[in-house]
Structure 1
Amino acid sequence: MAKITATEVNNLRKSTGAGMMDCKNALVEAEGDFDKAIEILRKKGQKVAAKRADRDSSEGAVIAYVNDANNEGVIISLNCETDFVAKNDAFVALATQFASTAVNYNSKEGFLNADFGGITVSEKLIEQTGVIGEKLEIGSFEKVSGEFVGSYIHAGNKIATLTVLSANVEGADAVAKDVAMQAAAMNPIALNEEGVDASVIEKEIEIAKDQLRQEGKPEAMLDNIAKGKIKRFFKDNTLVNQDFIKDSKLSVAQYVKTIGDVTVTDFKRVALV
């Protein structure tokens, strides 16, 4: 039997994230062969992943990540089975590492096939399933690009947002983050009126008309009054028209204009609730 040193066990642990005893046992089984020990641990991960494939992975960490040029951003969710794992610092660190890789890809499929320390992201998920003992998967993948991208991650890593501004000007960083915080807190359904699906508008009009009928309003007045209610619906539910949470005298669009001729061109919001 090969003699396994504490240094070898520690190096394997750093490489794979597996527990000390798992690493020691893998090295013993591999007779000290480091690469073979890694394969043993990965096969263990595959077995665990197969057993837990039908488990619900509704917990996890949502991470927003923006590249150094501030012109591309991504939100991913690394999903797991329990809140206990989701709150673990090492789990959140892994999610952040995944996000820093994901920002270089335009699709979830491309990201899952990306290199991650010599293996693919998909293979890393399987490996870490064996380490952690829970089903792990990438849930959401949202990518944006533009002149300036800002981000916000709410405490607890359950909500993350990205916002895109039309220009990279002085103050863009603070404003983009403020708007991202707005999106996290107020959960708008669209950027502006044009982004609201026609079926949603039709449904809101019908609801408004029904309410007005119950109030006894004449049928001839319903269309005009309903239009006013729809304007209110847009104000409450579209990002640029919402009252800015830090200064309700301004809409979000007006707040963004305080740094120049700038508009919000896109946003993404991902939440695990």
Structure 2
Amino acid sequence: MLHIDAERVRELRHKTGAGMMNCKKALLESNGNFEEAIKSLREKGQASAHQKINRKTIEGLVNSYIHIGGRIGVLIEVNCETDFVARREEFQELVQDIAMQVAACPDVLYIKSEEIPEDVFLAEKEIESGKDDLNNKPDDIKEKIILGRVEKTLKNLTLLDQPFIKDTNITVDELIKEKISLFGENIRIKRFTRYTLGN
């Protein structure tokens, strides 16, 4: 039987937030392949998170983050289901990480794509439709290109679609789903405000 080093298990737990036994099992199932174990845990975490995504979140934290130099500040509310989870150090770290993410992403205005107003979508579509490189494209191809470009632009405006600043292999959405799996509770970013000095 494959021997899994305890230090390797701890490293995987630190990287993914999954339980020790789940980390050991993932390493055994992947024959010790660290990246495959991470992928497996993330997939299971997202499946677990999907079952909890509609549960009510009435507890949580309001937190602030002031960037070095005091030129950017963020106020954020992140919700969970119970006060017990809200008091956990790991949850508080998550809220702080998300506040730092907001500070690092000046283009982000919305939490998720569903919040983007239709007029913003239509304005972006009009901008893309007027670009010269589309002039000789057939209409159906042109429409696909336009929608692809608009989707890419709008993703830059949404917090959940951003690559996580501490691990760019995952998005903020995937990070939250990992934490839902870890805590066993639904987690939701409720709102945020970014303050930029002089604006």
Say which structure, 1 or 2, has more relative contact order (CA 8 Å, 6+ apart). Answer: 2
Give the whole-Å Cα distance in 2 for the aligned partners of 1:112 and 1:35. 23
Structure 1 outlier segments of 4+, above 2 Å = 108-111
Secondary structure (helix, strand or coil) at the match of 1:57 reads coil
Which structure has more strand as a fraction of its residues? 1
| Partner residue in 1 for 2:139 | none
| Partner residue in 2 for 1:137 | 188
Letter in 1 for 2:161: N
| Partner residue in 2 for 1:114 | 162
5+ residue gaps, structure 1, are: 148-163, 165-273
Contact 1:42–1:130, Cα closer than 8 Å, also in 2? no
Contact 1:63–1:99, Cα closer than 8 Å, also in 2? yes
C-alpha deviation, 1:146, in angstroms: 2.3
Give the whole-Å Cα distance in 1 for the aligned partners of 2:90 and 2:177. 16
Letter in 2 for 1:114: Q
Give the whole-Å Cα distance in 2 for the aligned partners of 1:53 and 1:80. 11
C-alpha deviation, 1:111, in angstroms: 2.4
Which structure has more helix as a fraction of its residues? 2
| Partner residue in 2 for 1:210 | none
| Structure exhibiting the larger radius of gyration computed from Cα positions | 1
State the number of aligned residues.
148
C-alpha deviation, 1:140, in angstroms: 1.1
C-alpha deviation, 1:84, in angstroms: 0.4
C-alpha deviation, 1:101, in angstroms: 1.5
5+ residue gaps, structure 2, are: 112-157
Q: How does 1:183-262 map to 2 (within 5 A)?
A: none
Give the whole-Å Cα distance in 2 for the aligned partners of 1:107 and 1:73. 14
Letter in 2 for 1:107: L
Give the whole-Å Cα distance in 2 for the aligned partners of 1:128 and 1:36. 19
1:75 paired to 2:75: yes
| Partner residue in 2 for 1:189 | none
C-alpha deviation, 1:22, in angstroms: 1.4
Contact 1:41–1:130, Cα closer than 8 Å, also in 2? no
C-alpha deviation, 1:83, in angstroms: 0.8
Give the whole-Å Cα distance in 2 for the aligned partners of 1:115 and 1:53. 21
Give the whole-Å Cα distance in 2 for the aligned partners of 1:11 and 1:35. 12
Give the whole-Å Cα distance in 1 for the aligned partners of 2:89 and 2:58. 18
Give the whole-Å Cα distance in 2 for the aligned partners of 1:129 and 1:44. 11
| Partner residue in 2 for 1:173 | none
Task: Write the deviation string for residues 6-36 of structure 1: whole angstroms up to 9, x where unpaired.
Answer: 0110110111111111111111122211111
1:6 paired to 2:6: yes
Give the whole-Å Cα distance in 1 for the aligned partners of 2:22 and 2:82. 22
C-alpha deviation, 1:2, in angstroms: 2.5
Task: Write the deviation string for residues 152-210 of structure 1: whole angstroms up to 9, x where unpaired.
Answer: xxxxxxxxxxxx9xxxxxxxxxxxxxxxxxxxxxxxxxxxxxxxxxxxxxxxxxxxxxx
Give the whole-Å Cα distance in 1 for the aligned partners of 2:66 and 2:110. 16
Letter in 2 for 1:23: C
C-alpha RMSD of the superposition: 1.7
C-alpha deviation, 1:41, in angstroms: 1.1
Secondary structure (helix, strand or coil) at the match of 1:23 reads helix
Task: Write the deviation string for residues 101-158 of structure 1: whole angstroms up to 9, x where unpaired.
Answer: 21122423432222221211111011111111111121111122224xxxxxxxxxxx
| Partner residue in 2 for 1:127 | 178
Letter in 1 for 2:94: L
| Partner residue in 1 for 2:149 | none
Give the whole-Å Cα distance in 2 for the aligned partners of 1:57 and 1:43. 23
Give the whole-Å Cα distance in 2 for the aligned partners of 1:36 and 1:78. 30
